Amino acid sequence: MMVPDHRAGTLLRCPRCGVELRVPGTPVKTAPPAVKPPGPMVSKPPVTFADETASSMNSPSVAIAPTTSFKLREPTAAILQKSNVAETVAPPLPIAAPLPIAAPALPLVKPPSRAWAPPAGQSSTAIYLALALAALAVFGVSPAVWEWFELWRNPEQPPVPPWVFALLITGVLQLAYAVYLAQLPDWSALWTTTIATLVAAAAWAALLGTTLLGRDESALVMLFRYADKLAGNRAAMWCFIMLCFTSVLAYFLGLTAARWQRAYQLLRKFHRQST
């Protein structure tokens, strides 16, 4: 029976006959194993005598150094330690994909609208009507300017009568409407000028009726103090001429305004249908 050296001086039982025998030789003192830091606790199966005997019988040589067994066991412990560490480490959590960041909603910005530009035909027509209105205003204030000039030449004459100021104010207003129509050739401006011209025509009609029917006792004649102009029907003729010119101009202004407004409505209706 072959026995390893570290069993010298110990009692062994023969595996065949069961007799206890003392192994000859002096016992070999083995160096204490190196102390390693405590690792993970691994349960090891108990080693029996039969296992030790079988391993010793299967080994090719009898003399086996104690350090050899320690070196053979070290890789097994390291493998077990690595396996235990790998089991204790939790698997990495899956990284979720980042959510897409939505861009902030921008306020809807309307495209800048084009500036309104009147057609060339309307602009020329509005300028012609404005010139006609300005000429009528200048023609209507001519008697007032003549009367003022005569009173300025004769200081002994009575003060300026109110009808002179009335004609001057009417002429200035008509000139203002003429400038307004030339600057804004639109159907709304044309209707405004038409209404103002109709008011002036109505005033001339009232003066004509008062001059023909009331004579000196009329309230308007006494208010505006033009009784000295009644001789020879000069005041009546002047009121009739101004009434005709103003009425005719108001007619053309209103007719043009109605045409422009109808064209604007048709164009707006077509634009709504197309969109």
Percent of the chain with pLDDT over 90: 29
Q: Give yes or no for residue 42 having a pLDDT over 70.
A: no
Grade residue 270 by pLDDT with cuts at 50, 70 and 90: confident
The tokens of 196 are what?
Answer: 């103002």
| Tens digits of residue pLDDT in 134-176 | 999 999 999 988 888 887 787 777 788 888 899 999 999 999 9
In the block, residue with structure tokens 């003729």: 237
Summarize the chain as % helix, strand, coil (round to 5). 65, 0, 35
> How confident is the model at residue 240, as a pLDDT?
94
Cβ atoms within 10 Å, residue 164 = 20
Q: How many alpha carbons lie under 13 Å from residue 134 in its C-beta half-sphere? A: 13
Average pLDDT of the residues of the chain? 75
CA distance linking residue 75 with residue 219, whole number of Å? 137
Is residue 21 within a helix (H) or strand (E), and if so which, with residue range? strand 20-22
For the residues 115-123, what does the mean pLDDT come to? Answer: 74
For the residues 113-135, what does the mean pLDDT come to? Answer: 83
> How confident is the model at residue 234, as a pLDDT?
85
When mean pLDDT is compared over 1-5, 234-238, 247-251, the highest value belongs to 247-251
- The answer to whether the predicted template modeling score (pTM) of the entire model surpasses 0.85 is no
When mean pLDDT is compared over 15-24, 37-46, 101-110, 259-268, the highest value belongs to 259-268
The larger pLDDT score, comparing residue 203 to residue 79, is at 203
**Nearest residue to 253 via CA among 195, 184, 194:** 194
Domain ranges of the chain: 1-29+42-61, 120-274
For the residues 6-28, what does the mean pLDDT come to? Answer: 72
**Buried/exposed code over 31-70 (b: 16+ C-beta within 10 A; e: otherwise):** eeeeeeeeeeeeeeeeeeeeeebeeeeeeeeeebeeeeee
Grade residue 99 by pLDDT with cuts at 50, 70 and 90: low
